[in-house]
C-alpha cells in the first residue's frame, strides 16, 4: 500500500459534537446471559428466516434456530443454551413499532456450545465460495447498522481491487466500533486477512476518523504484529456522515460510486470493522454471530459504556447492567441521534443491527421547535452529502407529488439528517423524505399486487377460453365423426339394397333360364 495516501472530500457534511467520551472512557464490559433470550427471525435486510426448531426443543449456544429462505436472507442462532419456549409474534426493535415473529429461549445457565461449525484454521487452502458458505451459515451481516447479509456482498464477482474496512463511526454518541478497535484489533486484522483471501485481492484500507487516536494506535500495532503489508490504517477527517459507504470511498479514493450502482462497480468492497471481526470468529473459531458490541450512552443512563451483549438480550437488562435510568431519561433511541429511531418499550431485544442505545435527556435530544415556512435559503443543498436538492424534494413530498420526485433522485437520499440540522425553519426534511419513500414503496407494492391480480384474472380467462375452445373442438370432432358414421351407414344401406337387387335379378334370370330350357 502507498505510505502516504492522498485524501479527498465529499460534498457537504457537518462537523458535529461527538459526545463519544460519555461511553468510551471505561473498558469494554460483558453483559451476563439473561434468563430469557428473544430472537427475531428478521434481523437483516431481506426476507425473514424460517424456524428449524420447535417449542420444547433444547438448544445449545450457537445452534441454528432458523434457516435462510432466500438469497438475501440470514439465519439466526441461539445466544445461549436452553429451551425453546415460544415461537410467534413479540415486540421487536423497528421504526414501525409492530411485532415480529421471534424464537424465545429460556436459558439454562450452562451456556453449552454447539459443535456444528468446526474452526477453519486452514482457510488459506479454501476457495472463496467455501469461505462465503461459512460466513452465510454463521449468519454474519453488516454490523455498521445496515445488517445486509455479508455473504451476498462477498459474492461481488471478479474485478475487485480494494477492500475498505469502515471504522469511521462518524455519528454522534456511538462508540462501539471505537471500543472494538481499541480492545480487539487483532480480530479485525484477522478478519481482514480472511476477507482478502476470500476475495482474492491484495489491498485493504482501514479507515479511522482522526478523533480516535487510541483505536488508530491499536490497529497499527496489530498490523505490525501480523506483519501484513497488504493492510494500511488511514486516518480521515472527522466529518459527518463520512461513515457512509459512498462518502468514505470518495474520501479515500477520489472516486464516486455511480448513483444507481454499488461500490463493486468501481472495484471496491466496503465492510464495517465489526463485520470483519465477526468473520474472523466465524472462520477461525467456528462461532456464529451470537453477540456484538453495543454502545449504551446518553445522560438518561447512570453509567454509559460499551458492552458486549448476547443477541436476544432484552434492552432493559442491558440498561440495568449500566445502573439503570436516571431522572433525566426522556428518550430511548436505537442508533445515534442523527439516524436512529425511537423505541416505545425497552422490552425488545438486542439484534444484529443494534449498535447503540441512546437514553437521551432533553439536553441530548432537544425538542424540535414548530416548523415555519421554507425561506429558500439553500443551506440544505450545501450540506447534502448526496448532492441532492432537499428543498425541491420537500416541496413535492409535502404535496404528495410523488411522480415529480424522479428527477430529484429521492432514493439517493441516505437519510443522514444534515439538512434537518441546518434548516433555519426547523422543517423535519428527513421525515418528509422517509414518508415519500414509504408511500412510493407502498404504491409500487399495490401496483405489483394489482398487476398480479390482473394477470391472474387474464390467465383464468385464457384458461376458460382454452377449455371452451377445446370443448368446442371435441364437440365438432364428435359431430363430424357422427356424420361420417351416419354417412357410412347410409352408403352401406344403399350398397346392400343395390346388391340385393342385383342378387334378386340374378336369381330371376336364373329362374327364367331354367324355365326356358324346360319349354
Residue with cell 458458505: 133
Q: What CA–CA distances, in Å, run from 36 to 44, 106, 194?
A: 22, 5, 34
Higher-pLDDT residue of 376, 504: 376
pLDDT in tens, 364-393: 998 888 999 999 999 999 999 999 999 999
Tell which CATH architecture fits domain 377-494: Orthogonal Bundle (1.10)
Residue 303 DSSP label: S
Is 90 exceeded by the pLDDT of residue 518?
A: no
**Cβ neighbours of residue 369 under 8 Å, at least 6 residues apart?**
426
Closest CA to 173 of 299, 26, 20: 20
Task: Tell me the C-alpha distance between 247 and 257, whole Å.
Answer: 9
Whether the upstream peptide bond of residue 241 has omega within 30° of 0, thus cis, is yes
Angle among Cα 412, 417, 418 to the nearest 5 degrees reads 95
Closest CA to 43 of 107, 92, 87: 92
Are 311 and 348 in contact by the 8 Å Cβ rule? The answer is: no
Is 50 exceeded by the pLDDT of residue 3?
A: no
Which ranges of 108-230 would DSSP assign to H, the alpha helix?
128-137, 150-154, 176-183, 185-199, 213-226
Q: What is the pLDDT of residue 517?
A: 54
Residue 3 DSSP label: S
Q: β-pairing, 162-167 with 50-51?
A: unpaired
Task: Tell me the C-alpha distance between 16 and 418, whole Å.
Answer: 10
Which ranges of 200-338 would DSSP assign to H, the alpha helix?
213-226, 245-253, 273-284, 315-321
Q: β-pairing, 331-334 with 341-342?
A: antiparallel
Q: What CA–CA distances, in Å, run from 155 to 125, 132, 149, 197?
A: 19, 8, 11, 13
- CATH of range 118-287; options 3.40.50.10470, 3.40.30.10, 1.10.580.10, 3.40.50.11540: 3.40.50.11540
Is 60 exceeded by the pLDDT of residue 169?
A: yes
Q: β-pairing, 36-40 with 99-107?
A: antiparallel
Would you kindly state where each structural domain of the chain is located, as residue ranges?
118-287, 377-494
- pLDDT band of residue 4 (cuts 50, 70, 90) is low
Q: β-pairing, 291-297 with 204-209?
A: unpaired
For residue 349, the cross-strand partners are 314
pLDDT in tens, 70-128: 999 999 999 999 999 999 999 999 988 889 999 999 999 999 999 999 999 999 999 99
Angle among Cα 362, 363, 365 to the nearest 5 degrees reads 60
Q: What CA–CA distances, in Å, run from 171 to 178, 302, 324?
A: 12, 22, 24
Is 50 exceeded by the pLDDT of residue 2?
A: no
pLDDT in tens, 278-318: 999 999 999 999 999 999 999 999 999 999 999 999 999 99
Closest CA to 19 of 363, 240, 293, 298: 298
Amino acid at each position: 500500500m502507498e505510505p502516504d495516501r492522498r485524501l479527498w472530500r465529499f460534498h457537504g457534511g457537518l462537523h458535529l459534537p461527538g459526545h463519544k467520551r460519555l461511553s468510551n472512557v471505561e473498558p469494554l464490559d460483558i453483559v451476563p446471559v439473561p434468563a430469557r433470550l428473544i430472537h427475531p427471525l428478521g434481523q437483516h435486510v431481506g426476507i425473514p428466516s424460517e424456524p428449524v426448531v420447535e417449542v420444547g426443543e433444547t438448544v445449545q449456544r450457537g445452534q441454528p434456530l432458523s434457516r435462510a429462505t432466500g438469497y438475501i436472507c440470514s439465519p439466526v442462532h441461539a445466544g445461549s443454551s436452553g429451551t425453546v419456549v415460544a415461537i410467534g409474534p413479540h415486540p421487536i426493535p423497528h421504526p414501525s413499532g409492530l411485532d415480529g415473529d421471534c424464537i424465545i429461549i429460556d436459558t439454562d445457565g450452562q451456556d453449552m456450545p454447539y459443535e456444528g461449525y468446526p474452526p477453519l484454521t486452514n482457510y488459506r487452502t479454501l476457495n472463496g465460495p467455501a469461505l462465503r458458505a461459512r460466513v452465510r451459515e454463521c449468519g454474519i451481516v453488516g454490523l455498521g447498522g445496515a445488517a445486509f447479509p455479508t455473504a451476498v456482498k462477498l459474492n461481488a464477482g471478479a474485478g475487485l481491487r480494494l477492500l475498505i474496512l469502515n471504522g469511521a463511526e462518524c455519528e454522534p454518541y456511538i462508540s462501539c466500533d471505537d471500543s472494538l478497535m481499541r480492545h480487539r484489533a487483532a480480530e479485525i486484522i484477522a478478519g481482514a486477512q480472511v476477507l482478502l483471501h476470500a476475495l482474492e485481492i491484495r489491498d485493504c484500507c482501514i479507515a479511522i476518523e482522526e478523533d480516535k487516536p487510541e483505536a488508530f494506535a491499536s490497529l497499527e500495532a496489530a498490523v505490525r504484529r501480523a506483519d501484513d503489508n497488504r493492510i494500511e490504517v488511514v486516518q480521515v477527517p472527522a466529518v459527518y456522515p463520512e461513515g457512509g459507504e459512498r462518502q468514505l470511498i470518495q474520501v479515500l479514493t477520489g472516486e464516486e460510486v455511480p448513483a444507481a450502482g454499488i461500490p463493486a462497480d468501481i472495484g471496491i468492497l466496503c465492510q464495517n470493522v465489526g463485520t470483519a471481526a465477526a468473520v474472523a470468529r466465524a472462520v477461525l473459531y467456528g462461532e456464529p454471530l451470537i453477540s456484538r458490541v453495543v454502545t449504551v450512552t446518553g445522560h438518561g443512563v447512570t453509567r454509559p459504556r460499551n458492552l458486549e451483549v448476547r443477541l436476544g438480550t432484552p434492552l432493559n437488562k442491558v440498561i440495568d447492567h449500566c445502573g439503570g435510568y436516571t431522572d433525566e431519561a426522556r428518550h430511548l433511541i436505537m442508533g445515534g441521534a442523527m439516524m436512529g429511531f425511537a423505541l416505545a418499550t425497552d422490552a425488545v431485544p438486542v439484534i444484529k443491527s443494534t449498535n447503540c442505545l441512546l437514553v437521551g435527556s432533553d439536553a441530548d435530544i432537544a425538542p424540535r421547535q414548530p416548523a415555519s415556512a421554507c425561506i429558500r435559503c439553500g443551506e440544505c443543498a450545501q450540506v447534502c452529502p448526496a448532492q441532492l436538492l432537499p428543498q425541491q424534494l420537500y416541496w413535492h413530498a409535502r404535496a404528495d407529488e410523488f411522480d415529480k420526485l424522479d428527477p430529484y433522485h429521492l432514493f439517493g437520499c441516505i437519510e443522514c439528517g444534515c439538512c434537518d440540522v441546518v434548516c433555519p425553519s426547523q422543517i423535519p426534511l428527513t421525515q418528509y423524505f422517509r414518508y415519500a419513500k414509504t408511500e412510493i414503496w407502498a404504491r409500487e407494492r399495490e401496483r405489483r399486487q394489482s398487476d398480479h391480480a390482473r394477470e391472474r384474472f387474464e390467465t383464468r380467462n385464457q384458461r376458460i377460453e382454452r377449455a371452451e375452445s377445446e370443448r368446442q373442438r371435441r364437440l365438432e370432432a364428435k359431430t363430424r365423426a357422427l356424420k361420417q358414421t351416419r354417412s357410412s351407414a347410409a352408403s352401406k344401406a344403399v350398397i346392400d339394397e343395390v346388391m340385393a337387387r342385383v342378387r334378386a335379378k340374378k336369381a330371376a334370370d336364373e329362374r327364367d333360364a331354367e324355365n326356358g330350357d324346360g319349354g
